[in-house]
Structure 1
Amino acid sequence: AREEAEKQTILRAIKACGGNKTQAAQLLGLSRSALYYKMEQYNLSPSPRDSAIS
């Protein structure tokens, strides 16, 4: 289905950007908030290290 294809595209973009969601969003032509919305929609939670303060 289209949803599964979009989910896989998002996962590939995030992986290609080394986990950087901002770069992945740019690669996909989305805003960062739109990427997070889609991740939430597809139950793709950000990894715990994303929320860690570095």
Structure 2
Amino acid sequence: MVVKSPLYWASIEHLARDEISRGIFYALPDGCKLHCLKRKTRASNVEEVEPTFDP
């Protein structure tokens, strides 16, 4: 999973919010976890570019 992607943040929120989904996620084989999170959150795994402001 790409850190700073919408999928990263949505996954954290999803797993923190729902104990049953968290248990299912941990029970999945490693190869299925990313696919599961993409399906559940419908978020992109493309890194976001945060704006920077130069003074």
Calculate the TM-score normalised by the size of structure 1. Answer: 0.32
| Structure with max Cα Rg | 2
Calculate the TM-score normalised by the size of structure 2. Answer: 0.32
